Structure 1
Amino acid sequence: MTNWINTVSRDHVELAVRGRFTQANHGKPHMLRRMERGDWIAFYSPRTVYPKGEPLQAFTAIGRIADDEPYLDSAGPDDPRWRRNVDFLECVETPIRPLLEQLDFIEDKQRWGYRFRFGVFRIDDHDLEVIRSAMTR
C-alpha cells in the first residue's frame, strides 16, 4: 500500500469529496495510474480557491482509493479529466504549520512549501499517521 498527498485548492477538494473522486495534475492520468485500490490519499490545500484564493495551508480531506483503474470523466473531448474513486473519511480541516516538525517528508522546515509544488507525491506510513490522526480526532 502506498500513501499519497495531492495538492489541490479547497474549492476543488470540496467538489471531489461530494463526487467521491480525485484528479491530479489538472486531469492528467499518469500519477493516477500509479495508485492502487486501498492506497491512502491526503489532500493539502495551499489556497481556498484556485488559482488566486486566500492562503489556507491546510490538509482538507483524506481517504482511500476505491477502484482499480483511472477513468475518463465525461466532461467532454475538449477537456478530458482522468479520475479515481475515493472513499473519504469524516475529518476536520487541519492547518499544516503545527505538524511541520513531525512530518519527515518536509526535509527543509524553512522552505516547507516547496515539496507541494509537485502536485501529487508519496509519503511514508509515519507521515500519513501524523496527518490522519490530526484530521480525524
Structure 2
Amino acid sequence: MARYWIGLAERDSVQAAVANGVCLFSGGKAAAVRKLAPGDWVLYYSPHETADGAALECFTAVGEVIDDTPWTQNWTQLCAGGPSWTFGTGRGSGQTWVRKCAYDAVGEVSVRPLLGALDFVARPRHWGRTFRRGQMEIGAADFFAIADRLRAVA
C-alpha cells in the first residue's frame, strides 16, 4: 500500500531534483529515503525560492518513487552548483542519498488557502512549525487535496 510524504526544500533545489528524476529528504540522509518504497508518493513544500531568497510558501512538486533501493549521488555534480544546497549533507559536501522518482507536470500552489483543510496541520495558526521537519508522512486525503491542486495548475 502506498504511503504519502512531504519534503521540505527550497524551490531551486526541488527543481534540480525534478530535473534529475530523484527525491531526497532531511539533508540527503540515508535513513530518510530508506523509509520509502516503490509506489510511495512525494510532495515538496518550498518555504523560499532559494536558501537566501524570497519567501515562497508553496507546494512545488509531486512524484512517485520508482526504485527499490536508495543510492548515493554527488549533488554538486548533478546540479553543477546551481541549487542552494538545501539537500546537501552539509553546504558544499555534495554526497546525498536519493531514490528515483517520476514527477508529474505541476504548477505551484500556495500553502495558505489549504491550511484549514489539512489534517496534518494540527494548529493552523502556527502552521509553520508543521513544516520544519525535513520529511513527514501524511494521510492519503491530505496528499490528494494538495496533489490535485498542483496538477490542476500545470
Gaps of 5+ in 2: 77-92
Question: Which residue of structure 1 lines up, in the alignment, with residue 62 of structure 2?
Answer: 62
Code of the residue aligned with 2:57 in structure 1: it is Q
Cα distance in 2 for partners of 1:59, 1:100 equals 12
Normalized against structure 2, the TM-score is what? 0.84
Code of the residue aligned with 2:61 in structure 1: it is A
Question: Which residue of structure 1 lines up, in the alignment, with residue 87 of structure 2?
Answer: none
Question: Which residue of structure 2 lines up, in the alignment, with residue 103 of structure 1?
Answer: 118
Identity %: 32
Normalized against structure 1, the TM-score is what? 0.94
Cα distance in 2 for partners of 1:8, 1:24 equals 8
Q: Is the 8 A contact 2:24 2:32 kept in 1?
A: no
Question: Which residue of structure 2 lines up, in the alignment, with residue 129 of structure 1?
Answer: 144
Question: Which residue of structure 1 lines up, in the alignment, with residue 107 of structure 2?
Answer: 92
Question: Which residue of structure 2 lines up, in the alignment, with residue 117 of structure 1?
Answer: 132
Cα distance in 1 for partners of 2:12, 2:74 equals 20
Question: Which residue of structure 2 lines up, in the alignment, with residue 13 of structure 1?
Answer: 14
Runs of 4+ in 1 over 2 A off after TM superposition: none
Deviations 1:77-107 (A, max 9, x none): x642110111000111111111111111001
Cα distance in 1 for partners of 2:114, 2:9 equals 19
Question: Which residue of structure 2 lines up, in the alignment, with residue 49 of structure 1?
Answer: 50
Cα distance in 2 for partners of 1:25, 1:119 equals 4
Query: SS state of the match for residue 64, structure 2?
Result: strand
Cα distance in 2 for partners of 1:114, 1:70 equals 28
1:3 equivalenced with 2:4 (yes/no): yes
Gaps of 5+ in 1: none
Query: SS state of the match for residue 18, structure 1?
Result: helix
Cα distance in 2 for partners of 1:115, 1:131 equals 15
Cα distance in 2 for partners of 1:75, 1:10 equals 15
Task: State how many pairs are aligned.
Answer: 135
> What is the RMSD computed on CA atoms of the aligned residues?
1.2
Cα distance in 1 for partners of 2:142, 2:149 equals 11
CA displacement at 1:74 relative to structure 2: 3.8
